[in-house]
Amino acid sequence: MSDLTGVKQGTVTPYEAEIEAIDPKIFLLESSTTRNDRQSLLRLQRLVRRENDDYCYLEIGSHLGGSLLPHLADSRCGLVISIDPRPAVQPDERGPMFAYQGNSTQRMVDGLLRHLSEDNLAKLQTLVPRLYLWVIEGRIRSAASR
């Protein structure tokens, strides 16, 4: 039996209820996203999870993992990939340099483990690239998206 959201009753975890409700309190870790950013990200996640029984989430630049947590907590997300070069200082075109003290994958994982089980984190793959050339090819398949 499904409720009005289309989710089977009795199968929703507290975290998944927050995703369905577009509740930004699921973002339990520090993040550079605003409340509006978080709500927009949750709307996209809810849309994807309603249309797919299983999905993969890819993020480039994860820092402390704040925006990874909702996907790691989502039973419909089977794989979470975090790509982050983990710089000590992040240059910015606007001029200021942003320092990231203790910026490491282990610090991110430790923070996530304060809120999620090891089972949740088992679907996390992290990459610290040494190559800084990325080509992302996308194809437009719908006339409406042109």
Return the DSSP state at 144: G
Give the pLDDT score at 63: 87
Q: What averages of pLDDT result for each successive group of 10 residues across the chain (146 residues)? A: 41 91 94 92 96 94 92 96 83 73 90 96 90 67 52
Query: Distance of alpha carbon 135 from its chain centroid, rounded?
Result: 21
Give the pLDDT score at 67: 95
Residue located via tokens 């809810």: 46
CA distance linking residue 23 with residue 113, whole number of Å: 21
Return the DSSP state at 127: E
